[in-house]
């Protein structure tokens, strides 16, 4: 078994100089969220997780690299790379067409429309470069030259004939096989591993100590139990190694989902409760987390935050933006669109604002002083505690 980093270097070595080079970034652990393997060409490379580290089978990596290196690519034997049917929206062809469309959209947003009187511009009519509106091949390369499909880079193999985009037949057939494998594996990964029921992979699939697993709500409830706040007030650093979070259900998910981590307040070091990998990542990112049902109550499971009438700094911009009235700009009466705030070293928050009702887009900044931030956050926490019917100690009111 080898690490994803070593597997990437090995793939580069095996495919160096061949017409279809592999893309090592395809071996990212995030690829296993929706299936149990990644595709390198039409070869499946399974991911194995041991002690929270991903490992790959070197034999599968070598098989994938050698297969790509031996692919009989004939630059004169080409096939049409365009969509073959209207319902073909998940194929490699549709992905490439999206790259074309997004490149044209980006160029038009910056440079305006270059079409001859076509109103509105659809960006679908090809120009001399085979792209919509005023987009160029250089722009396409800059945006998607390193983008991967089935662990390979298709863009260098695409050719504009003057009327259609073409791709080597052997490579197109390989991508067709990869599409078929992807569809089959996605269907399998969306089934509960215990009862076989089919469901929403994004709701049922979650991270575990041995990798990603798919469990329906019923089977999840059979292997994990609700958390009863028995670790309330405990320091995260004091938890014994035997205290596994995956024995419990996630505190934040609306449907039963197995937890993975003990979420804790980094400011006070206190345990909040068990959460799944997805919720843990969302909370750690900060942005818009408090808008989730139950999120504020979860944050206030930290007695330190509750006592100080605060929430962690990364969530404070979302608290402030709820009630703070930003200065108008140029007499515009409209509220700025989704301002994004950064907490400064002194506790103030610097907001970057923009208005979509002006052309060109009007951008400016405004800073909310730390004293005002503290007051707004404290008021928010008090209102949340009142809404939940809890006193200062976190107990339900009588």
pLDDT mean over 367-374 = 95
| Greater pLDDT, 395 or 74 | 74
Residue 122 in this model has a pLDDT that exceeds 70? no
Model pLDDT for residues 332-346, shown as the tens digit of each residue: 777 777 678 899 999
Question: How confident is the model at residue 159, as a pLDDT?
Answer: 92
Rounded Cα gap, residues 8 and 378, in angstroms:
49
Question: How confident is the model at residue 116, as a pLDDT?
Answer: 62
pLDDT mean over 104-110 = 83
Containing 353, the helix (H) or strand (E) segment is: strand 349-355
Residues 6+ apart with CB under 8 A from 39: 26, 45, 150, 151, 178, 181, 182
Domain coordinates of the chain in residue numbers? 4-69, 78-189, 202-308, 314-377
pLDDT mean over 135-141 = 91
Single out the residue of 362, 377, 293 nearest to residue 330, CA to CA.
362
**Residue 58 near residue 1, CB atoms below 8 Å:** yes
Rounded Cα gap, residues 68 and 174, in angstroms:
9
Residues 6+ apart with CB under 8 A from 124: 101, 132
CATH topology of domain 314-377: Double Stranded RNA Binding Domain (3.30.160)
- Cα distances (angstroms) measured from residue 92 to each of 149, 171, 172, 192, 201: 7, 11, 9, 27, 21
Q: Report the SS3 class of residue 367.
A: strand
Residues 6+ apart with CB under 8 A from 293: 254
Least confident residue range of 12-16, 205-209, 272-276: 205-209
Residue 397 in this model has a pLDDT that exceeds 50? no
Token pair for 238: 């004091």
Residue 390 in this model has a pLDDT that exceeds 90? no
Residue showing tokens 């575990």? 208
Residue 244 in this model has a pLDDT that exceeds 90? no
Question: How confident is the model at residue 393, as a pLDDT?
Answer: 46
Rounded (5°) CA angle 169-170-176: 85
What is the DSSP track for 136-164?
A: -HHHHHHHHTT--BTTB--GGG-EE-SSS
Residue 86 in this model has a pLDDT that exceeds 60? no
What order do you get walking across the sheet with 78-80 strand by strand?
78-80, 165-168, 159-160
**Residue 43 near residue 63, CB atoms below 8 Å:** yes
Model pLDDT for residues 267-324, shown as the tens digit of each residue: 999 999 999 988 998 898 877 899 999 999 999 999 999 999 999 999 999 999 888 8
Rounded Cα gap, residues 258 and 192, in angstroms:
13
| Greater pLDDT, 30 or 53 | 53
Query: Global pTM?
Result: 0.70
Single out the residue of 269, 277, 230 nearest to residue 250, CA to CA.
277
């Amino acid at each position: 078994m080898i690490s994803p980093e070593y597997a990437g270097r090995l793939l580069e070595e095996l495919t160096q100089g061949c017409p279809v080079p592999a893309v090592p970034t395809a071996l990212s652990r995030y690829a296993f969220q929706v299936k149990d393997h990644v595709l390198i060409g039409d070869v499946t490379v399974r991911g194995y997780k041991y002690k929270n580290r991903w490992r790959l089978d070197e034999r599968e990596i070598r098989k994938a690299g050698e297969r790509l290196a031996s692919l009989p690519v004939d630059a004169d034997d080409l096939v049409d790379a365009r969509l073959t049917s209207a319902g073909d929206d998940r194929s490699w062809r549709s992905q490439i067409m999206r790259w074309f469309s997004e490149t044209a959209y980006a160029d038009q947003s910056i440079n305006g429309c270059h079409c001859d009187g076509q109103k509105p511009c659809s960006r679908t009519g090809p120009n001399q470069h085979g792209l919509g509106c005023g987009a160029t091949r250089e722009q396409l390369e800059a945006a998607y030259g390193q983008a991967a499909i089935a662990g390979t880079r298709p863009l260098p193999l695409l050719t504009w004939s003057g009327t259609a985009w073409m791709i080597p037949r052997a490579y197109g057939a390989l991508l067709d096989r990869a599409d078929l494998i992807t569809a089959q594996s996605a269907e399998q990964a969306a089934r509960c591993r215990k009862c076989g029921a089919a469901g929403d992979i994004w709701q049922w699939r979650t991270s575990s100590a041995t990798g990603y697993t798919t469990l329906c709500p019923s089977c999840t409830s059979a292997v994990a139990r609700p958390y009863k706040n028995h670790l309330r007030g405990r320091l995260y650093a004091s938890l014994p190694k035997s205290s596994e979070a995956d024995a419990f259900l996630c505190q934040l998910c609306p449907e039963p989902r197995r937890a993975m981590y003990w979420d804790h307040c980094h400011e006070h070091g206190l345990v909040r409760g068990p959460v799944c990998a997805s919720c843990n990542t969302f909370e750690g990112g900060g942005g818009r987390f408090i808008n989730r049902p139950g999120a504020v109550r979860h944050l206030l499971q930290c007695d330190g935050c509750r006592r100080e009438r605060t929430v962690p700094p990364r969530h404070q911009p979302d608290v402030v933006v709820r009630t703070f009235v930003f200065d108008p700009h140029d007499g515009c009466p409209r509220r700025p669109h989704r301002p994004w705030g950064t907490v400064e070293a002194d506790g103030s928050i610097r907001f970057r604002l923009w208005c979509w009702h002006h052309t060109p887009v009007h951008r400016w900044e405004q800073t909310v002083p730390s004293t005002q931030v503290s007051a707004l956050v404290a008021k928010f926490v008090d209102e949340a505690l009142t809404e939940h019917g809890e006193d200062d100690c976190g107990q339900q009111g009588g």
